[in-house]
Amino acid sequence: MGDSEAGFCVGPVLVAVLASACATPHEARPSAELAYVGSSTVANFLRDAEPVYGAVRLTIDTAPESEGGELAIEQGTTDLAGVAYPPRAETLRAGVTATLIGRDAIAVIVNDRNPVRELGRDQMRAIFTGQVRNWDELGGPDLSVRPLVVGEESATRRIFRGAVLAGAEYAGCEEVRPDRAILDAVAREPGGIGHISFSFLEGALGIHSVAVDGEWPSVTNFEYPITRPLYLLWRRGNPAVEAFVGWIQGEEGQRVVMRRFAGTGVVGSVQAVARAAEGMGTLVVRTETDPYMDDVLTYFPHRPYDVLTRDGRLVRRVPNHVGQHDEKPTSVDLPPGTYVIRTETSRWGRIECFVTIESGTSTEVDVEELLKRRG
């Protein structure tokens, strides 16, 4: 692949491929008040989305968390529900529609005064099953371990148990409600350790996340071992609900999702390895090629693409070839930052790649390889 190696989250650069559904025009969106019950993690997205969408007013109840939200939508007592796990078959048989909106990482957090920066799943299993009681057993200070878990109604607790405890039960842990309260609880307790959606960490003080088996939680790292899908549950027949869900699946809605989560079309990442000009990063995008035949030979120039900011402002249009005889993709210098790469494909139509450019590196994106992984 030249300057970089494609793979599933082999480095710090995110590449996301999104479905190209267009957002419903603002003037065509039915305005309504909608009730939401369920996952506090999904609610983080809804609070971000409400002012951007601009056509719904949401009342949000996260006290029942995922399990209560699923029950509420089954019983028809809410317009929208959120669950941080695949919904039950019984829920779907009851006429409920489940829409995947993104994927979340569950972070493990400790007090900022705790020097521990990495734990293995076996070490965390020992912590949350009561087998380890002092941080000095884990290479930390002589300090009592205080494990904190969210309530049983929260999907975070269930997903963490499945990914880390290998079937064992929690033991010696203190329950904290609501989920967000774990941030303050760990910040107050020097020996505290807890688990919470990565989406809650922005601006949190007094805590830091730890790497799990060498992988750090982020929206870009699909090698991180504790992740889960996020679903909105709803019933057909309400135009305002249908329009809102359609917007979430489209371009603008997925931009909002990606503030805290991985979008529904994330398929992998690339690793920047070569050095570029000082203060800049270099991007090479191997888009699809189109045949061009002259009188003697057939050439395959790469298709053009656009470079945009995360909020959709055009930065640069890249022809990606110099004349129809040029088969080499263009090398583009960009300031460090996160960009959206937009191009047209034969099978999927317009797709977008979400990529972070780093100073002094050259990053290569191969659209064909990414689409192969998508299937």
In a domain, 99, yes or no: no
Q: What is the CATH number of the domain that holds 10?
A: 2.60.40
Same domain, 111 and 216: yes
- Domain containing 202 equals 105-227
What count of Cα atoms within 13 Å lies in the side-chain half-sphere of residue 356?
Answer: 12
Q: What is the CATH number of the domain that holds 31?
A: 3.40.190.10
In a domain, 159, yes or no: yes
Q: How far apart are the first and last CA of the chain?
A: 20
Q: What is the pLDDT of residues 301-341, one digit of tens each?
A: 899 999 998 888 889 888 888 766 678 898 888 999 889 99
In a domain, 150, yes or no: yes
Whole-model pTM?
Answer: 0.65
Tell me what pLDDT residue 266 has: 59
Same domain, 68 and 141: no
Q: What is the pLDDT of residues 254-312, one digit of tens each?
A: 989 988 998 886 555 544 444 444 578 889 999 999 987 766 678 788 999 999 988 88
Same domain, 334 and 277: yes
Tell me what pLDDT residue 149 has: 97
Same domain, 294 and 355: yes
In a domain, 329, yes or no: yes
For 295, the token pair is: 């009188």
Tell me what pLDDT residue 47 has: 97
**Helix, strand or coil for residue 322?**
coil
Tell me what pLDDT residue 313 has: 86
- Decide: 371 and 351 in contact? Cβ < 8 Å: yes
Weakly modelled stretches of the chain, pLDDT under 70: 1-30, 265-278, 294-296, 323-325, 374-375
Number of domains into which the chain is organized = 3
